[in-house]
Amino acid sequence: MDFSIPQPLQDLLNRARQFVETELYPLEPLFLQQGFNAVEPELQEKRRKVKQLGLWLPQISKEHGGLGLNLVEHGLFSAELGKSPVGHYAFNCQAPDAGNMEILIQYANDQQKKKYLEPLLAGEIRSCFAMTEPDFPGSNPVWMGTTAVKDGDSYVINGRKWYASGGEGAAFAVTMAVTNPDAPPHERASQILVPAGTPGFILETATPFMGSRGEGWASHAEIRYDNCRVPRENLLGPEGGGFRIAQERLGPGRIHHCMRWIGVSERAFDLMCRRAIERKIAPDRPLAFQQFVQGWIAESRAEIDAARLAVLHAAWVMDREGSKGARDEVSLIKFNVANTMMRVLDRAIQVHGGLGFSDYTPLALFYRNERAGRVYDGADEVHKISAAKRILKKYAGLG
Ligand SMILES: Cc1cc2nc3c(=O)[nH]c(=O)nc-3n(C[C@H](O)[C@H](O)[C@H](O)COP(=O)(O)OP(=O)(O)OC[C@H]3O[C@@H](n4cnc5c(N)ncnc54)[C@H](O)[C@@H]3O)c2cc1C
């Protein structure tokens, strides 16, 4: 087994790292202290630069204007971008747009591709994914209240969604709604493209989230569909195929999150080590001399290294066998990496003392935002149960 990174890929990773460090780190104070909208004009400038440098859309095939990286390669690339809270956005591979691009590439017809996919790939618009509902359990998404009823050439949608990340300012929402209530549970819902501004598509608010409502891409919209009428041609993929498409979207999506979390963990680790060296607790006595701190550094390094290998391995399996073939690996990394990241962030904040709680470093933002990784795209418990059941099934087979 060869763990070395081929030179052309290493060059690409070096370029991504350099861009993140020199162009994006300086934008962070503005983002951290004044919010996404304050930094967006400059981010658009950075996006133009990323395009010029030929680093745009790392996760998308060359045919669609991307770099055509496979999942293992993107895993390494994404870990570089994840070091900054605006890294993925600058390269147009941010959630939820990256997942929406994937399903549009796979399921959109030519007309839908022109209207929704092409401007999304170009970075001219943003999108959101509206599946979860306040009144139904997201952990059991086949049970939902939003309906889309056929009326002539239209669907009429009614229901409520929340946590549609990036919904504020999005040009359209990929909306999950029940179209076939009498079908088996996994064939009841469909995905429908709903342009913002459609009458009856009401952005009610952004959910107050860990002390802040956020704004624009960095917020989570609550949406009400009130007799919202869209043409039937806005159906994405087959009717009743919504759940299957969502599953296909979530497989790579979960790996993408884990890859980004490696980047978050690396940034926290880097900040922790620097602070340990720089901060003196007495003249000539840096924090790094303390064995507690040394222990946190060694534990963090070991845990991040293990997490990174597990993520790359899951990506390697998915590259070969697809989402279904990699579902065990994905379930295992999903909760494992989310928890590793939180432990590393916690230690890094502890080493920073009061500074760690301020918005003078990205640690507090990471801590607030990334805690949700243990819930979205499948809560820890759900992944643990499904992985354990499949493991035990193999043992049951042994008799
Ligand atoms: C920051 C953030 C961003 C999000 N972005 C999006 C988005 O863009 N689009 C979208 O549609 N949704 C999004 N979500 C919603 C997310 O997918 C749901 O929150 C998630 O699926 C859990 O659903 P729920 O909140 O309804 O929790 P529930 O389903 O009510 O579950 C609550 C808790 O119960 C436990 N639990 C649930 N089922 C089981 C089980 N079978 N066994 C054991 N324990 C269980 C878990 O601990 C779980 O955390 C986002 C959520 C967050 C926090």
Kindly write down the DSSP assignment for every residue of 317-356, as one continuous string: HHHHHHHHHTHHHHHHHHHHHHHHHHHHHHHHHHHHGGGG
Residue 111: predicted pLDDT: 98
The three-class DSSP label of residue 232 is helix
| CATH 3.30.450.20 at 127-236, yes or no | no
CA 221 to ligand 1 centroid distance, Å: 15
Nearest-CA residue for ligand 1 atom 43 is: 381
Nearest-CA residue for ligand 1 atom 17 is: 376
The identity of residue 292, as a single letter, is F
Orientation of helix 97-107 relative to helix 242-278, angle to 10°: 150
Residues of CATH 1.10.540.10 domain(s) within the chain?
Answer: 7-101
Ligand 1, atom nearest to 375 Cα:
49
Q: Does ligand 1 lie within 6 Å of residue 375's CB atom?
A: yes
User: What whole-number distance in Å separates Cα of residue 311 and Cα of residue 254?
Assistant: 10
Ligand 1, atom nearest to 132 Cα:
11
∠ CA 247-248-251, rounded to 5°: 80
CA 317 to ligand 1 centroid distance, Å: 26
Show the DSSP H helices in the chain as ranges: 7-19, 28-34, 36-52, 71-81, 87-90, 97-107, 110-112, 118-122, 242-278, 291-325, 327-352, 363-370, 380-397
Residues of CATH 1.20.140.10 domain(s) within the chain?
Answer: 244-397
Q: Does ligand 1 lie within 6 Å of residue 382's CB atom?
A: yes
DSSP code, position 215 = B
Weakly modelled stretches of the chain, pLDDT under 70: 399
Q: Does ligand 1 lie within 6 Å of residue 379's CB atom?
A: yes
Could you report the per-residue pLDDT of 345-375, keeping only the tens digit for each?
999 999 999 999 999 999 999 999 999 999 9
Asked if residues 133 and 145 have their Cβ atoms less than 8 Å apart, the reply is yes
Q: Does ligand 1 lie within 6 Å of residue 372's CB atom?
A: yes
Residue whose C-alpha is closest to residue 96's, from 317, 235, 330, 254: 254
Q: Does ligand 1 lie within 6 Å of residue 225's CB atom?
A: no
CA 370 to ligand 1 centroid distance, Å: 14
Ligand 1, atom nearest to 128 Cα:
8
Residue 399: predicted pLDDT: 59
Ligand 1, atom nearest to 378 Cα:
21
Residue 253: predicted pLDDT: 87
Residue 188: predicted pLDDT: 98
CA 162 to ligand 1 centroid distance, Å: 11
Q: Does ligand 1 lie within 6 Å of residue 217's CB atom?
A: no
Q: What are phi and psi of 240, to 5 degrees?
A: 85, 0
Residues of CATH 2.40.110.10 domain(s) within the chain?
Answer: 127-236
CATH for 7-101 is 1.10.540.10
Q: Does ligand 1 lie within 6 Å of residue 142's CB atom?
A: no
User: What whole-number distance in Å separates Cα of residue 378 and Cα of residue 250?
Assistant: 9
- Please name the fold of domain 244-397: Butyryl-CoA Dehydrogenase, subunit A; domain 3 (1.20.140)
CA 207 to ligand 1 centroid distance, Å: 14
CA 100 to ligand 1 centroid distance, Å: 19
Could you report the per-residue pLDDT of 190-207, keeping only the tens digit for each?
999 999 999 999 999 999
Q: Residue 17: how many CB atoms within 10 A of its CB?
A: 15
